[in-house]
Amino acid sequence: MNIENTQSQMRKGILEFCILSIIRRGEAYPSDIVDEMRAANLQILEGTLYPLLTRLKNADMLTYRWVESNSGPPRKYFSLTEKGNTFYQELEATWKELANGVKALTSRQDSLPNSPEQPITN
């Protein structure tokens, strides 16, 4: 069991949710998404973002539009579909549940009611 693995599992679980929550606010360019996430102190590699976007797009959660760019090739701007929106709502509900639950658990300081009197040392 190593900490990095657990951390990356945690991050991976919420990655899609985070991306959808950014795109929800309007048409987004992938590097903008990366910037947004980094600004929120969530590390992501651009290289992992592209396949994720493509997967979401292929699952009809996202759609995109070509926009001419003055610095390089035309850009793909992503936006949520109807389906993506409901998907996001569900994820949000789940996230709130989880966040509340985790918060409730992690914020408690009292000891467990049924724990043995002598603390086990090892």
CB of 103 to other proteins, least distance (A): 24
> 26, 79 in Cβ contact below 8 A?
yes
Q: CA-to-CA distance for 22 and 33, rounded, in angstroms?
A: 7
> 50, 110 in Cβ contact below 8 A?
no
Contact stretch for other proteins (CB under 8 A) within 5-13, 18-26, 81-89, 106-114? 5-13
Nearer to other proteins, 8 or 100 (CB): 8
| Dihedral angle of Cα 4, 10, 11, 17, to the nearest 10 degrees | 170
> 92, 100 in Cβ contact below 8 A?
no
Binding letters toward other proteins, positions 55-94, x by CB under 8 A: x-xx----------x-xxx-xx------------------
Question: Using CB under 8 A as the criterion, which residues of the chain lie in contact with other proteins when the complex forms?
Answer: 1-2, 4-6, 8-9, 11-12, 30-31, 45-48, 50-51, 53-55, 57-58, 69, 71-73, 75-76
